[in-house]
Structure 1
Amino acid sequence: MENGVTLQVRETELGLREYQLQKLNELLVFVSQFNEFYKEKFQHICLPIRTMEDFQKLPFTTKEELVEDQKMYPPFGRNHCYPETSYIRYHQTSGTSGKPLKILDTESSWKWWRDCWMEVLKSSGVTNRDRVFLAFSFGPFIGFWAAYEATKEAGALVITGGGQSSKERLYSMIENEATVLLCTPSYALHLAEVAGEMGIDLRHTAVRTIITAGEPGGSVSSTRKQIEKLWGAIVYDHVGMTEMGAYGYSCSEQKGIHVNEAQFLVEIIDPQTLQPVKEGERGELVLTNFSRYGYPLIRYRTRDMVIHSTVQCACGNPYKFLPGGIIGRVDDMVIIRGVNIFPSSIEAIVREFAEIKEFRIVYYTQNEMDQVKVQVETETDIEPLLADRLRERIGIRIEVERVAPGSLPRFTMKSKRVIDERDCKNQVG
């Protein structure tokens, strides 16, 4: 890539859209011959496609389809282009939104994963002079597995924290003078809480950069600022999916996420009408990965909600910019008394109060009406102030309930801070 604007392909400079169209045709020709899942799905399409409008006539791919395909063709389904002997990596989705999806990667696809993560490291300023600590369990969830490979490729020192307690991880980071921490936003906050109990001031450690993933928190301004204050480090966000790849990263402006358009095609649609949304509107992120031939996904509905914007980020990166990053999941949005609510919107307000150690959102039914309350762990009487701010920002009255210290769960990976106890769930999705 030259200045992020043109791409060198077979000794010919192409603009981004021409390059993407070429990559799409190469992918479509390949899967139509060697991928049984897409061969059936695209049996009536004519290749090559001439325009992006033609591409948008192709059917979407959903996780439900892939899960059903694996059920019908166990154990791995048909979305693979090579014999099973060509695959070297196994991962599965976290299962937070249904049955886990099994994913296989060839050696080439795994290197592609690593290269996508290299862009995340570059955007965060990580170099071979860094010591990178991965606070990650290294199970079948893909998490930071690809980050581990990218960190090695970047020449930085990799320090893994698999199988360690939070205290052991803190000691390891401090003793080995780690300069970069990779974890979820929730775990960064939890480590700070544990450090406080141990009498450790994280601002005096060598950690200067934190790269978060797995939750929207890294792009939630109040959450990011709270982490940065506790650690004395800069927080960079990253977004990816086990089934899709590491597709996005934040930048020095810290106002959202850039999608790596050299490797992914972006669409943003209304989840109800399935039509493109307008400038400034919220919509569902749809992605296509160009070069993961071992496990391709074409027009994949991620179920992640983002804001469509054509404005270029002030950092100068010309790639697609998503203001505020991932603002929630289509499945997470609920309607309470006529108001659309995303958990991330509540978190953005709760995290403005440093006195709150942990929180949980509870949806419930009272007198046949759906309600929402926020449970908080805090040692100060901030319930009235928080309730006022929630009502002002969200637009409805939200009860704030103070609970005993240590009574709410802590999370090392993806957090689960929403409890739905309603009699009749009206979630959209």
Structure 2
Amino acid sequence: MSEMWNPILETMALDDLRAYQLDQFREQVEHAKDDSPFYAEKLSGISPDDITSLADVRELPTTTKDELREAQREGDGLYGDLLAEDAESVVSYHQTSGTTGRPVRQADSLPDWEWWTDSWATVLWAQGVRPDDRVFLPFSYSVFVAFWAAHAAAERIGAEVIPGGGMSSAQRVEKIETLDPTVVAVTPTYAFRLAEVAEQEGIDLAETAIETVVCAGEPGASVPSTKDELEALWGADVYDHAGATEAGAWGFACDGDTLGLHFNEARFLVEVLDGDDEPVGPGETGRLVVTPLNRSAQPYVRSELKDRIRLAEESCDCGRTFRVTDGGVLGREDEFRTINGTLLSPRAVEDVVHGYDPVTNEFRVRIEDHPEKDLDTLELRVEADGEYDYDADRIATELDKELKKRTHLSFDVDVSSPGTLDRNELKSDRFTDARTRRTQYEQ
């Protein structure tokens, strides 16, 4: 049995892969321009015949989420001017979470849904999911695409799927213990929550049948300290995955020696660009622009995802020719904060907190105006881990020292008792920017 879902595409020679991507991109542009009112206007004056190399791709404008919202607000019908097929072809409705604004509605046709399941099957197969696995999805799927697609992809592989909606966390832990699933797909936040509930119920998740934890929704599984902690709690291999409703499952970790994400370059044209819209090189960081290839009902061309990515300097040893990142998603551009002239990465704070054993994995950061000076203040709230005999002052001092080394910023650390901070099933909103003014340094 192959180690890859589609070994022909995943190991294609680079020149052939780039030629394949160029051909697919031109077809996507032609379809979007001819059939989507939004792109007919946006790409007016552009001919697919003018795109003769991947360098020409950068001559096309990018697409922002604000543009998508506006096109759906101003256009007719549920999907506005974004729809590129008759509404009768739509078989699946999903939407973005709306955390950064009005949700974008996503229409998918039957071929689109097959594309979704193939993309997700690539993720699951690379992370060891096989037909003899039993996959548990401990969520109510709602209108969000990720777990619907993961469910369908696991079935496409031939695995058995246990849907976990409509249950409490304790009931889900009980299902893990009694039904013996071998794979769980979950956000890192909820993986920690289930481990916490399991401990309260007297259940050691490391002793269950779970062998693989597939993470999605947050970059935690590519943060070394977070990944290590989850693997210890679950006694399982932990893998990361990245995607977006409007783009698809564009990135996945494999079982190679690289702590990063492969771009699924068979299904996506992925660009990592600097501030001048030029491609970054290995070891360099840029923003992510993604074009899903072969998407029909609601196509996108050069979608700005606002994710920050660093390209790895070396290839992965798994045999795939797909490019790989150095670590996972570093954060979203709108999540980074400039504090007193220094750029703060949420991921750096997470790595420090999750790597410091005397506290739990939950934390909150609050940014406020200094009461007397034209400066910003940083407060970090953490929970003491009861297993360690550390007083609050020691925890605060040691955490502030480590954070200062990593971020070059000083934190006012507040230490609470275990269970004080709220837990979430999906993504944790750990950063609050309560500043009412912006310093001269703020971008």
Interval of TM-score (by shorter of Structure 1 and Structure 2) = over 0.9
**5+ unaligned residues in a row in structure 2: which ranges?**
1-6
Instruction: Write the letter of the residue equivalent to 2:191.
Output: A
**5+ unaligned residues in a row in structure 1: which ranges?**
8-12
Given that 1:219 and 1:254 are in contact with CA atoms closer than 8 Å, whether structure 2 keeps it comes out as no
Gap change, CA 1:129 and 1:78, over 3 Å in 2:
same
Instruction: Write the letter of the residue equivalent to 1:372.
Output: L
Given that 1:20 and 1:265 are in contact with CA atoms closer than 8 Å, whether structure 2 keeps it comes out as yes
SS in 1 for 2:291: strand
Match of 2:4 in 1: none
Select the residue among 100, 105, 109 that pairs with 1:106.
109
Moved more, 287-296 or 112-121: 287-296
CA distance in 2 between counterparts of 1:387 and 1:6 reads 48
Within the alignment, does 1:138 sit opposite 2:137 as a pair? no
Given that 1:332 and 1:428 are in contact with CA atoms closer than 8 Å, whether structure 2 keeps it comes out as no
Given that 2:138 and 2:165 are in contact with CA atoms closer than 8 Å, whether structure 1 keeps it comes out as yes
Select the residue among 208, 214, 225 that pairs with 1:222.
225
C-alpha deviations, 1:336-378, integer Å up to 9, x for none?
A: 1221111111001100023322111111111231121210011
Match of 1:398 in 2: 411
C-alpha deviations, 1:121-145, integer Å up to 9, x for none?
A: 1111111111100011110122311
CA distance in 2 between counterparts of 1:47 and 1:231 reads 49
Instruction: Write the letter of the residue equivalent to 2:396.
Output: E
Within the alignment, does 1:369 sit opposite 2:375 as a pair? yes
- Counterparts of 1:4-83 in structure 2 under 5 Å? 4-6=10-12, 15-48=16-49, 49-74=51-76, 75-83=78-86
Match of 1:261 in 2: 265
In the TM superposition, what is the alpha-carbon distance from 1:294 to its structure 2 partner?
Answer: 1.6
Moved more, 204-213 or 388-397: 388-397
Moved more, 153-162 or 381-390: 381-390
Match of 1:302 in 2: 305
Given that 1:282 and 1:307 are in contact with CA atoms closer than 8 Å, whether structure 2 keeps it comes out as yes
Match of 1:2 in 2: 8
Instruction: Write the letter of the residue equivalent to 1:307.
Output: R
CA distance in 1 between counterparts of 2:258 and 2:416 reads 33
Within the alignment, does 1:200 sit opposite 2:203 as a pair? yes
In the TM superposition, what is the alpha-carbon distance from 1:428 to its structure 2 partner?
Answer: 7.7
Gap change, CA 1:227 and 1:428, over 3 Å in 2:
farther
Instruction: Write the letter of the residue equivalent to 1:345.
Output: A
CA distance in 2 between counterparts of 1:57 and 1:424 reads 37
Match of 1:115 in 2: 118
Within the alignment, does 1:411 sit opposite 2:424 as a pair? yes
C-alpha deviations, 1:218-251, integer Å up to 9, x for none?
A: 1111001000011111101111101111111001
Gap change, CA 1:68 and 1:154, over 3 Å in 2:
same
SS in 1 for 2:261: strand
Moved more, 400-409 or 329-338: 400-409
Identity %: 39
Given that 2:9 and 2:266 are in contact with CA atoms closer than 8 Å, whether structure 1 keeps it comes out as no
Match of 1:236 in 2: 239
CA distance in 1 between counterparts of 2:205 and 2:169 reads 14
Instruction: Write the letter of the residue equivalent to 1:90.
Output: Y
CA distance in 1 between counterparts of 2:358 and 2:75 reads 51
In the TM superposition, what is the alpha-carbon distance from 1:176 to its structure 2 partner?
Answer: 0.3
Gap change, CA 1:181 and 1:6, over 3 Å in 2:
same
In the TM superposition, what is the alpha-carbon distance from 1:55 to its structure 2 partner?
Answer: 1.5
Instruction: Write the letter of the residue equivalent to 1:412.
Output: E
CA distance in 2 between counterparts of 1:43 and 1:156 reads 45
In the TM superposition, what is the alpha-carbon distance from 1:275 to its structure 2 partner?
Answer: 3.2
Given that 1:127 and 1:156 are in contact with CA atoms closer than 8 Å, whether structure 2 keeps it comes out as yes
- Counterparts of 1:286-365 in structure 2 under 5 Å? 286-309=289-312, 311-357=314-360, 358-365=362-369
In the TM superposition, what is the alpha-carbon distance from 1:406 to its structure 2 partner?
Answer: 2.0
CA distance in 2 between counterparts of 1:400 and 1:316 reads 45
Gap change, CA 1:377 and 1:318, over 3 Å in 2:
same
C-alpha deviations, 1:95-124, integer Å up to 9, x for none?
A: 111111111100110110000000011111
Given that 1:25 and 1:47 are in contact with CA atoms closer than 8 Å, whether structure 2 keeps it comes out as yes
SS in 2 for 1:297: coil
Gap change, CA 1:211 and 1:400, over 3 Å in 2:
same
Match of 1:179 in 2: 182
Moved more, 68-77 or 88-97: 68-77
SS in 1 for 2:146: coil
Given that 2:28 and 2:293 are in contact with CA atoms closer than 8 Å, whether structure 1 keeps it comes out as yes
Instruction: Write the letter of the residue equivalent to 2:160.
Output: L
Given that 2:219 and 2:331 are in contact with CA atoms closer than 8 Å, whether structure 1 keeps it comes out as yes
Aligned residues: 423
CA distance in 2 between counterparts of 1:337 and 1:356 reads 27
In the TM superposition, what is the alpha-carbon distance from 1:72 to its structure 2 partner?
Answer: 0.5
Per the normalisation by structure 2, the TM-score is 0.92
Gap change, CA 1:15 and 1:110, over 3 Å in 2:
same
Match of 1:10 in 2: none
In the TM superposition, what is the alpha-carbon distance from 1:425 to its structure 2 partner?
Answer: 5.0
Select the residue among 266, 272, 282 that pairs with 2:285.
282
Given that 2:32 and 2:300 are in contact with CA atoms closer than 8 Å, whether structure 1 keeps it comes out as no
CA distance in 2 between counterparts of 1:146 and 1:361 reads 33
